[in-house]
Amino acid sequence: MRGIQVSDTTPRLEIRNLMRQFDGRMVVNDVSLTVMPGQVTCLLGPSGCGKSTTLRMIAGVDMQDSGEIYVDGSLVCDTVFRIPPERRSVGLMFQDFALFPHLSVAENVAFGLSGSKEEKRARVEELLSRVNLLRFIDEYPHNLSGGEQQRVALARALAPRPRIMLMDEPFSGLDNRLRDEIRDSTLEVLKSEGSAVLLVTHEPEEAMRMADEIALMRDGKIVQQGAPYNIYNSPVDLNAAQFFSDVNVINGTVQGALTDTAFGQFLAPGVADGTRVNIVIRPQHVKIDFDRSGRGPDPSPQTGTPARAIVERARFLGKESLVEFRLEYDGSYMTAAVPAVFLPAPGTPMWLMVRRERCHVYQETPAA
Ligand SMILES: Nc1ncnc2c1ncn2[C@@H]1O[C@H](COP(=O)(O)OP(=O)(O)OP(=O)(O)O)[C@@H](O)[C@H]1O
Ligand SMILES: [Mg+2]
């Protein structure tokens, strides 16, 4: 690789302005991101948005039309210069992580290793104990469960100490209960190895669970990047908000940089008069209070004006109850999530409040 000094602030992986077209269609459109050593970044987005294509270019099994890829500050690939996949210090783990069936667990893990027999054995034992599978060292893959095979594959990918781990939906072949456990143990191993990890998933929960940083991708572009907390609580647009959970959308029209709603006025600074806006709030951030002969709680700066609403339906989903309401103000519907068993009868009048700091105002975009 073309040498540049590596410092603590040099990203382990940096991609700049990657572009890739297939049959004249832009599939990866100007994607840039960085991953620091020891950091897990999740590339999250719906099916077909270009996640795997991005990963394949970083791995070197596909070639971008333009843009550059750097590892530790050194160029590994642009449109003229290209280091082959096997020399990129990249570990790969894909959904179909097939182990070699005719090799033992130890031989599988040692597959990409160089060095003396003793050195290889020591590294294999180190990794297998890290993934809690040392007892299977001399077994063959067909004697292992799906989850155990997955952990062997992880050990195999990490054995040569790759500077970067690329993981493409690595947990999607596992059943639900196993998956959570394996995600957590995988994360632990990845952190202890210090590689930079770029993990592709289309499941927001997986990204929230695994990522130090999420890069949200849509139609070939990264639309938002940041810590899970920020992406969840400050989504860049309605679509980004909806990707993580069901949301309530309150519609309004701007007049004098303000819009009127059942919950009082919302600021829409810089938005022209007559523009339609969507005020978005997650069900978890809608508060409920009881009706006292037609009176509700007092307005507050935190929640604005309460709005009276009638219960339409209530369901208990195990961790929380979802209560659907119809607002008296304009007949629109809203859902509130309550972290308990709370099942008011349909027709019950109640009062709703929205946590102002959790409301996001977006200009309405015409449907595509
Ligand atoms: N080699 C190829 N030739 C033509 N089109 C391709 C090729 N590889 C990918 N595509 C197209 O590019 C788009 C993005 O594909 P990609 O596999 O990157 O999506 P993805 O985000 O990984 O989706 P998923 O979550 O379903 O795996 C898709 O529409 C796909 O059909
Ligand atoms: Mg994919």
Residue nearest atom 26 in ligand 1 by C-alpha distance:
47
Ramachandran region, residue 62 (left: φ > 0; alpha: ψ -120 to 50; beta: rest): beta
The reply to whether 124 falls in a domain is no
Query: Which residue among 52, 54, 61, 65 has the greatest number of ligand 1 atoms within 8 angstroms of its CB, and so is best to mutate?
Result: 52
Quick: pLDDT tens for 198-232.
999 999 999 999 999 999 999 999 999 999 999 99
Q: What is the CATH number of the domain that holds 270?
A: 2.40.50.140
Same domain, 215 and 262: no
Residue nearest atom 29 in ligand 1 by C-alpha distance:
48
Domain boundary among 217, 241, 265: 241
Residue nearest atom 31 in ligand 1 by C-alpha distance:
48
**What letter represents residue 329's amino acid?**
Y
Same domain, 84 and 184: yes
Nearest-angstrom CA–CA distance, 51 and 208: 17
Same domain, 188 and 323: no
**How far is ligand 1, taken at its centre, from the CA of residue 48, in Å?**
5
The reply to whether 30 falls in a domain is yes
Domain boundary among 205, 226, 241: 241
Same domain, 291 and 356: yes
Same domain, 180 and 321: no
Same domain, 213 and 331: no
The reply to whether 109 falls in a domain is no
**How far is ligand 1, taken at its centre, from the CA of residue 50, in Å?**
6
Nearest ligand atom owner, CA of 48: 1
pLDDT beyond 80 at 367:
no
Quick: pLDDT tens for 262-304.
999 999 989 999 999 999 999 999 999 999 998 999 999 899 8
CB 130 within 8 A of CB 142: no
**Lowest pLDDT segment from 92-106, 239-253, 284-298:** 92-106
The reply to whether 184 falls in a domain is yes
Same domain, 182 and 320: no
Domain hosting 332: range is: 246-363
CB 199 within 8 A of CB 126: no
CB 194 within 8 A of CB 37: yes
Task: Look at the block and give the residue holding tokens 């590994």.
Answer: 76
Taking CA atoms, 1 is separated from 74, 76, 77, in Å, by: 6, 6, 9
Same domain, 340 and 210: no
Quick: pLDDT tens for 104-143.
999 999 998 999 999 999 999 999 998 889 999 999 999 9
Same domain, 340 and 309: yes
The reply to whether 323 falls in a domain is yes
The reply to whether 208 falls in a domain is yes
Q: What is the CATH number of the domain that holds 80?
A: 3.40.50.300
The reply to whether 267 falls in a domain is yes
Query: Which residue among 18, 43, 51, 223 has the greatest number of ligand 1 atoms within 8 angstroms of its CB, and so is best to mutate?
Result: 51
**Is 48's C-beta closer than 6 angstroms to any atom of ligand 1?**
yes
Nearest-angstrom CA–CA distance, 150 and 170: 8
The residue-averaged pLDDT of 42-50 equals 96
Quick: pLDDT tens for 320-347.
999 999 999 999 999 999 999 999 999 9
Task: Look at the block and give the residue holding tokens 């819009």.
Answer: 259
Same domain, 274 and 351: yes
Number of domains in the chain: 2
Mean of the per-residue pLDDT values of the chain? 92
Nearest ligand atom owner, CA of 94: 2
pLDDT beyond 90 at 52:
yes
The residue-averaged pLDDT of 21-32 equals 97
The reply to whether 237 falls in a domain is yes
Same domain, 173 and 38: yes
From the CB of residue 78, how many other CB atoms can be counted at a distance below 10 Å?
A: 14
Domain boundary among 200, 220, 241: 241
Residue nearest atom 13 in ligand 1 by C-alpha distance:
48
CB 127 within 8 A of CB 155: yes
Same domain, 230 and 279: no
